[in-house]
Amino acid sequence: MTQRPWRGKLFVFWDDEGEHVSLAPPTTVGKAIIRAFAVRGPFIPIGLQKTITLPDTERWLGELLLQGFTCEPCTLES
């Protein structure tokens, strides 16, 4: 059985607690800086977790590209 590639949106945001990657935008925006990416790849990059906290999201996104993902900036709404 062939696994279908994953396609979705990832939200990268920074707040007082650190850098986060999420499958959904943060519910409390406050001081958060949010960026959205349309992502395609072989699997869900954050697994079944709702949100992950990382020390360096830019490096993590770069590593996704090496694993066969595409990450394109997009709007928060689309």
Pairing of strands 51-54, 6-15: unpaired
Quick check: 70 pLDDT over 90? yes
pTM as predicted: 0.83
Question: Within a domain: residue 1?
Answer: no
Residue 15 placed within a domain: yes
Q: What is the pLDDT of residues 10-26, one digit of tens each?
A: 999 988 788 999 998 88
Q: For residue 58, give its domain range.
A: 6-74
pLDDT tens by residue, 29-68: 666 678 999 999 999 999 888 899 999 999 999 999 999 9
Residue 2 CA to residue 61 CA, distance in Å, equals: 25
Number of domains within the chain:
1
